[in-house]
Amino acid sequence: MANLKRKVVLVGTGMVGMSFAYAALNQSVCDELVLVDLNEVRARGEAMDLNHGLAFSNSSMQIYFGSYADCSDADIVVICAGVAQKEGETRLQLLARNYKVFESIVPRVVSSGFKGIFLVATNPVDIMTRITYELSGFNSAKVIGSGTTLDTARLRYLLGSYFEVDPRHMHAYVIGEHGDSEFVPWSQAIMAVSPVYDVIADNQNRYKFEDLDKIEEEVRTAAYQIIKAKGSTYYGIGMAICRIVRAIFHNENSVFTVSVRLRGEYGLRKEVFIGHPCIINSNGANRNLELKLMTKEIEQFKQSYEILDESFLSISK
């Protein structure tokens, strides 16, 4: 770590960024939190508002409005800046607008002398993570996207309700693009100690295989439903970012389906950032955990991978 204090710079103090900041304060995940935004007035106001809550928290966090120069000794730069998804808009349609936003952010973070870890949440997150990697020239282990971490949390919540088991004991993952081509490799889903497929096969009077498709669809369309109901999603992703930040600072070796660069897993050779189980510690994305996928699941993963690669290449044309 660059500094004795655990320091995070948040770029983008909109709904997602501030949901992260609020969770970070309440969970005391860092010692110093710097807020940076194109809209300086807003970022200053957010810093004031959060500081007024300090007296009610268990934290003595230093929170202030800042600039890119503050990244020089930061451990983590969290990027939530950009344009939010509109109703009916796919995440990929956001790409062109958010690419320009990142061109104005990432080089300035790097110029500050920043040597820490980038954590990206801006959508389309897998491609924005790859753009951060390309623009920064950082080692890929130091560039992480939130990927399908939130989708995995949504899946575990729904599975926990369905099987009436604490979601923390539902070991199932959403992988691939954080978007329409994401999917659940059900062959890998475990309820505590038993494969979900076995639990259903052995209890067909209670559970149905078709219900897994419904749960998967609910996860895939959750963002659309929330956006339709309240305009945008932010609490869940704010907490997901906070959880990843904690795993980095505590050198946890925890596993999240973050957006990471694959290194030849599944025989896929192209350089794509995609949601995949990865061990996260103070070095960043430490190690991908390659899954023993069924043939159909490998095809689904490849499809997602190709979509992400084509989208990335479309912006460089």
What residues line the site for ligand NAD (CB under 6 A)? 11-17, 37-39, 42, 80-85, 94, 98, 101, 104-105, 121-123, 125, 146, 150, 178, 232-234, 237
What is the DSSP code (8-state) at residue 267? G
In the complex, least distance from residue 101 CB atom to ligand NAD, rounded to whole angstroms: 4
β strands within the chain, DSSP E? 7-11, 32-36, 62-65, 76-79, 117-120, 143-145, 170-171, 190-191, 194-195, 254-261, 273-281, 284-288
Rounded to 5 degrees, φ, ψ at 255 are -105, 125
The residue (of 191 and 278) whose beta carbon lies closer to ligand NAD is: 278
Under DSSP, the state recorded for 104 is: T
CB of 191 or CB of 258, closer to ligand NAD: 258
Choice between 39 and 58, CB closer to ligand NAD: 39
Sheet holding 190-191, edge to edge: 170-171, 190-191, 194-195
Q: Which residue has the tokens 């950082």?
A: 138
Q: Which residue of the chain is nearest ligand NAD when measured via CB?
A: 14
Nearest approach in angstroms of CB 48 to ligand NAD is 15
Which residues are paired to 287 by β-bridges?
279
| CA pair distance 138, 141, nearest whole angstrom | 8
- Single out the catalytic residue among 52, 169, 178, 276: 178
- Residue closer to ligand NAD (CB basis): 24 or 101: 101
Q: Closest separation between CB of residue 91 and ligand NAD, Å?
A: 7
Tell me the C-alpha to C-alpha distance, in Å, between residue 140 and each of 14, 161, 176, 212, 284. Answer: 27, 36, 18, 34, 9
Q: Apex CA 161: angle with CA 160 and CA 162, to 5°?
A: 95
Question: What's the min distance (Å) between Cβ of 186 and ligand NAD?
Answer: 22
Please, which residue, 40 or 217, has the CB nearer to ligand NAD?
40
**Shortest Cβ 183–ligand NAD spacing (Å):** 16
We find the least distance from the C-beta atom of residue 298 to ligand NAD, in angstroms, to be 24
Cβ proximity to ligand NAD, 92 vs 189, nearer residue: 92
Told to judge if 169 belongs to the known catalytic residues of this protein, a careful annotator would answer no
Lay out the sheet containing 117-120: strands in order across. Answer: 62-65, 32-36, 7-11, 76-79, 117-120, 143-145, 254-261, 273-281, 284-288
Residues belonging to the active site: 178
